[in-house]
């Protein structure tokens, strides 16, 4: 009797799984039919719910190889969403592998999109195989080379350190590639690169342009010496930045932007960010004081390095 109940329960479970798979398959088919007709609706949420991640990722292969660039682009977006919500390590690794293949897409926009999506994954989501593929792409100097260099720096693939050093000093190389090589080396704990980055940044004024264009690069390095510069800016009350509020035209301290940037890179940070990257607070002035006090009390704070 017990064996019979177990069998029936197992049969019902398998039937349920099959039904979920069919639902995902139908949703994918309907969604991509809309994409092909030029209707770019929001990606259906059931495609990237954690319980459907495995099915979604397994069914995306033909769309990732589609002849239409727009179909491949949407397929990469779904891979990123499904992989990002997946609870199992092997599914996240599968998503990363699919996106690494996407870097080879002959459509430049798609290749850049795949690279961008990869920055949302953790270091441990990259397997030896995907890392080897990235190194091969680096040697080939693929599209969006500067972004690929930064991804390699995040993964600390030190096999190409000497190549990066040479590139950072190559006068004929593109400026963005040289800068990315320097940043990647800094992420890999290269002392010369860290000092070089700091020397260049110390010459710059703290204003909107520097905060939005350069400070994210400094956060990327995950180096304490560089973070000291950011914390100096965090404690500076000079009003050199524009407010994000279009109705408020007065200048504000750039410290507020720094406060947001550091949230993703410091362990046990006293504030959290919402999906858009803004700090979860109704009182930014009080939040800034909270962070300043926190750094005063936590001189030996820990920098998070397993995210981009």
**pLDDT tens for residues 211-233?**
999 999 999 999 999 999 999 99
Q: Which structural domain range is residue 116 located in?
A: 1-123
Q: Is the overall model pTM greater than 0.85, yes or no?
A: yes
Lowest mean pLDDT among 167-171, 240-244, 290-294: 240-244
Residues in Cβ contact with 177 at an 8 Å cutoff, skipping those fewer than 6 apart: 145, 146, 149, 167
Q: Are residues 252 and 197 in the same domain?
A: no
Q: Are residues 210 and 192 in the same domain?
A: no
Q: Are residues 171 and 91 in the same domain?
A: no
The confidence score (pLDDT) of residue 11 equals 43
CA quadruple 197, 173, 136, 79: dihedral, nearest 10? 70
Q: Last residue of some domain: 172, 201, 230?
A: 201
Q: Are residues 48 and 119 in the same domain?
A: yes
pLDDT surpasses 70 at 15: no
Q: Last residue of some domain: 171, 201, 231?
A: 201
Q: Are residues 112 and 153 in the same domain?
A: no
Model confidence pLDDT, tens digit, residues 264-292? 999 999 999 887 778 999 999 999 999 99
Q: Last residue of some domain: 123, 146, 167?
A: 123
At 233, list the tokens: 């800016």
The number of domains in the chain is 3
Mean pLDDT of 224-253: 90
CB 55 within 8 A of CB 26: no
CA distance linking residue 217 with residue 221, whole number of Å: 7
Q: Are residues 155 and 216 in the same domain?
A: no
pLDDT band at 179 (very low <50, low <70, confident <90, very high): very high
């Amino acid at each position: 009797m017990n064996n019979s109940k177990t069998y029936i329960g197992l049969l019902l479970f398998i039937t349920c799984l099959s039904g979920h798979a069919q639902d995902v398959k139908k949703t994918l088919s309907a969604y991509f039919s809309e994409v092909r007709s030029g209707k770019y609706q929001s990606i259906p949420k059931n495609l990237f719910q954690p319980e459907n991640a495995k099915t979604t990722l397994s069914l995306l292969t033909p769309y990732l190889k589609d002849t239409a660039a727009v179909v491949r682009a949407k397929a990469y977006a779904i891979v990123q969403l499904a992989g990002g919500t997946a609870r199992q390590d092997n599914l996240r690794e599968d998503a990363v592998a699919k996106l690494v293949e996407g870097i080879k897409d002959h459509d430049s926009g798609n290749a850049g999109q795949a690279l961008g999506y990869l920055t949302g994954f953790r270091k441990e989501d990259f397997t030896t195989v995907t890392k080897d593929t990235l190194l091969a792409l680096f040697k080939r100097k693929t599209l969006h080379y500067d972004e690929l260099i930064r991804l390699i720096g995040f993964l600390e693939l030190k096999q190409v350190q000497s190549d990066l050093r040479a590139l950072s000093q190559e006068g004929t190389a593109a400026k963005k590639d040289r800068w990315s090589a320097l940043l990647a080396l800094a992420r890999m704990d290269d002392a010369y690169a860290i000092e070089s980055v700091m020397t260049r940044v110390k010459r710059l004024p703290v204003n909107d342009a520097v905060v939005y264009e350069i400070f994210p690069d400094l956060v990327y390095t995950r180096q304490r010496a560089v973070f000291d510069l950011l914390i100096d800016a965090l404690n500076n009350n000079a009003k050199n930045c524009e407010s994000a509020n279009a109705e408020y035209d007065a200048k504000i301290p750039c410290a507020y932007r720094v406060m947001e940037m550091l949230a993703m890179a410091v362990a046990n940070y006293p504030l959290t960010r919402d999906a858009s990257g803004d700090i979860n607070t109704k009182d930014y002035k009080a939040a800034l004081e909270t962070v300043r006090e926190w750094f005063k009390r936590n001189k030996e704070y820990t920098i998070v390095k397993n995210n981009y």
